[in-house]
Amino acid sequence: MTRVALIAHDEKKADLVEFAQDHEPQLQEYELIATGTTGKRLLEETDLDVERKESGPLGGDLMIGSEVAEGRLDGIVFLRDPLRAQPHEPDISALLRICDVHDTALATNLESAEFLIEGLQE
């Protein structure tokens, strides 16, 4: 089964929830994992089944990175705030590196997330 991780910086969580709501039928076909707070919002605001990892500041992004290293993820949507990211929020650089090493798709904005979800459908 296709497995996708969903992560968002604080200022982008609402965008990710809206993206998930707009693509709910497609996303229901996937195994979804998310960092703690993002996963909680997705569970509360959608009908999606989401496996929650730790929150980003507690290592959730690293847990997702280990899933990439183990070959357990087909893609990541990480909506980041390039202008106002807070020090406690997950850092994209480690995920970017592990995704490049393992040739795993990583979307960092809504437009690339659309392409990732559509590409996985094929």
Q: What is the pLDDT of residue 44?
A: 98
Annotated binding site: 9, 13, 35-38, 55-56, 88
Report the catalytic residues: 61
Q: Tell me which residue of 112, 31, 43 sits closest to 74, measured CA to CA.
A: 31
Q: Which residue numbers in the chain have pLDDT < 70?
A: 84-91
Residue 75, phi then psi, degrees to nearest 5: -175, 160
pTM: 0.92
pLDDT score recorded for residue 93: 85
Number of domains in the chain: 1
What is the pLDDT, as a whole number, of residue 23? 97
Distance of CA 94 to the CA centre of its chain: 14
- Residues contributing to the annotated binding site for substrate: 9, 13, 35-38, 55-56, 88
Give the residue numbers spanning the domain of 28. Answer: 3-121
Residue 36: CATH number of its domain:
3.40.50.1380
How much is the pLDDT for 87? Answer: 58
